[in-house]
Amino acid sequence: MRNAIAKDQRTGYWFITPAAITLILLVTYPLVYGAYISFFTTNLVNKWNFVGFSHYIEIFSKWDFVGRIGLTLKYTILTVIGHVIIGLGLALILNMNLRGRTFFRAILILPWLLPEVVVGLLWKWLFNPMYGLFNYIMMQLHIISDPVSWLGDAFYAFIAIVIVCIWKGYPMVMLLVLAGLQSISQDTYEAAKIDGCTRFQSFRYVTIPGLLPVLMVTLILDTVWWFKHFTMIWILTEGGPGDATNVVSIDIFKQAFQFFDFGKAAAMAVIVFFVCFIIGFLYRRLFGNDND
């Protein structure tokens, strides 16, 4: 009997071994190596000067990086709020028994399917001050009299990247919330209707509690993803004008590949990892339950 149990256990270990090796190579090793680099001043080839926690002390001794963390949080909060409002609203509509909903589901998911580089270049063309579509339409409607440099103004540039990231990311929230809505039993809604609940009360006491597990996972994934986002912001503004859109991912990229300060960039990345961990922990405290 014991031999059979031991054999079953060994078989289970063999099944999880490929996944464990993949996680170690693609997740654990880069994290550990990145943390290791943060303790050195290095060119990653033949220069490895151990400096201990000097990079971390330097980062927190100046308010520049802390300010960029604050800017990134502001950008992330606005983006995630936009995703939740649009994604939840569209998911509720697509969950109704409407004609053509399959077609609209396919159309509304397109922003998420398009590559980020393509999306960034497309919106950069739309925002172009000389031949961009937005300036053309607004001038034709006499909303503005002169072309506006949307990506060249500090105020407009920040709003622009938030709009682009909301447009790109809402389909993920929409799909996850739609899956959560379809997992809620119709019997629960019928019982609420028999008890005299209005549609709003059913949404408040049936839909929202039923969606909480899905919403928690969605918010964690969405917040962490856009907190460390890089591609489209770099294509649109490269962190400018000035530091108006210089979020933490842009700052890390510049430290590593423009200033070649790989140790400091690694230390900044480690700090971002812990910020993302804290965000996930807070979400679980707010939306989780005692069984999580």
**pLDDT value of residue 289:** 58
Angle (nearest 5°) at CA 263 between 259 and 238: 40
Architecture label for domain 58-287:
Orthogonal Bundle (1.10)
- List pLDDT tens digits, range 67-122: 999 999 999 999 999 999 999 999 999 988 888 888 888 899 999 999 999 999 99
Beta bridge partners of 49: 41
Q: For residue 51, what pLDDT band results from cuts at 50, 70 and 90?
A: very high
Q: How far apart are CA 33 and CA 28, in angstroms?
A: 8
Query: What's the rounded Cα separation, in Å, for the pair 9 and 202?
Result: 46
Question: At a CB cut-off of 8 Å and minimum separation 6, what does 19 contact?
Answer: none
CB atoms within 10 A of CB 62: 9
CA torsion 34→38→40→46, rounded to 10°? 30
Q: Helices 64-94 & 208-227, crossing angle to 10 degrees?
A: 140
* pTM for this prediction: 0.89
pLDDT of residue 270: 94
Which structure tokens are listed for 95?
């969950």
Encode pLDDT of 167-180 as tens digits. 999 999 999 999 99
Cα angle 220-225-229, degrees, rounded to a multiple of 5: 150
Q: Where are the beta strands (DSSP E) in 106-265?
A: none
Q: Greater confidence, 37 or 99?
A: 37
Whole-number percent of the chain with pLDDT over 70: 95
Q: Tell me how far the alpha carbon of residue 242 is from its chain's centroid.
A: 24
The residue ranges of every structural domain in the chain are: 58-287
Q: How far apart are CA 28 and CA 65, in angstroms?
A: 26
Q: Give the 3-state secondary structure of residue 241.
A: coil
Distance between CA atoms of 133 and 111, rounded to whole angstroms? 19
Strands 40-42 and 48-50, by their bridges, are: antiparallel
1-10, 166-175, 236-245: which has the minimum mean pLDDT? 1-10
Cα(119)–Cα(232) distance, integer angstroms:
7
Residue where the block lists tokens 């270990």: 13
* Dist. CA 113–CA 221, nearest whole Å: 17
Q: Name the nearest CA neighbour of 163 among 91, 92, 94, 245.
A: 245
Distance CA 275, CA 70 (A): 11
Reply yes or no on whether the pLDDT at 292 is more than 70. no
Mean pLDDT of the chain: 89
